[in-house]
Amino acid sequence: MGMVDVGEKPIVRREAVAEGRILLRAATIEVIRRREVKKGDPFAVAEVAAMTAAKQTHLLIPHCHQIALDLVEVAFDMDDRGILATCRVVAQARTGVEMEAIVAVSSALNTLWDMLKYLEKNANGQYPETMISEIRVVKKLKGM
């Protein structure tokens, strides 16, 4: 076993887009809309977390290759029930960047949870409505 040898594969443009959702209480959404989150702008912090995570994927997932990324884009779409995070990763590489996109989205969502958890806790200190879900690769391109 071990890491797959990609040394003979050609370097081509690779792109992956991943997305995931965090479900939040309506009251939390209102605090975000009013820009009153105690820890600051959750989208700015989550964007930086996603970019950092994408670049560090090889340290987190044992069989991933270290890839020099050309682009990491992060976007957020908030509705009345939560936030959809989307991450696009592009590289010139011998292997795909799907894991980088997935790890980036996961980190963005985890960061949002961390920044908003004080708003999500119920009287018992639990998170009955908060959920991270639907993390998936929505697009993968190779050699465009």
CATH 1.10.560.10 corresponds to the domain 12-142: no
pLDDT score, position 7? 75
pLDDT score, position 47? 98
Helix (H, G, I), strand (E, B) or coil at 127: coil
Asked whether the beta carbons of 118 and 24 are under 8 A apart, the reply is no
Known catalytic residues are 114
Q: What share of the chain is helix, strand, coil (3-state, %, to 5)?
A: 35, 30, 35
Tell me, rounded to whole angstroms, the distance of Cα 73 from its chain centroid: 10
Asked whether the beta carbons of 12 and 82 are under 8 A apart, the reply is no
Tell me the per-residue pLDDT of 40-69, one tens digit each, with 9 for 90 and over.
999 999 999 999 999 999 999 999 999 999
Write down the pTM of the prediction: 0.94
Structure tokens at 73: 């884009």
pLDDT score, position 4? 81
pLDDT score, position 9? 85
Flag residues of the chain having pLDDT under 50: none
Structure tokens at 133: 């879900």
Instruction: Name residue 88's amino acid.
Output: R
How many angstroms separate the CA atoms of 18 and 101, rounded?
A: 5
What are the Cα distances from residue 40, in Å, to 32, 85, 117, 127?
10, 18, 13, 21
66 — phi, psi (to 5°)? -75, 125
pLDDT score, position 5? 80
Paired residues of 22 in beta bridges? 83, 132
Dihedral angle at the C-alpha atoms of 39, 44, 47, 49, nearest 10 degrees?
A: -30
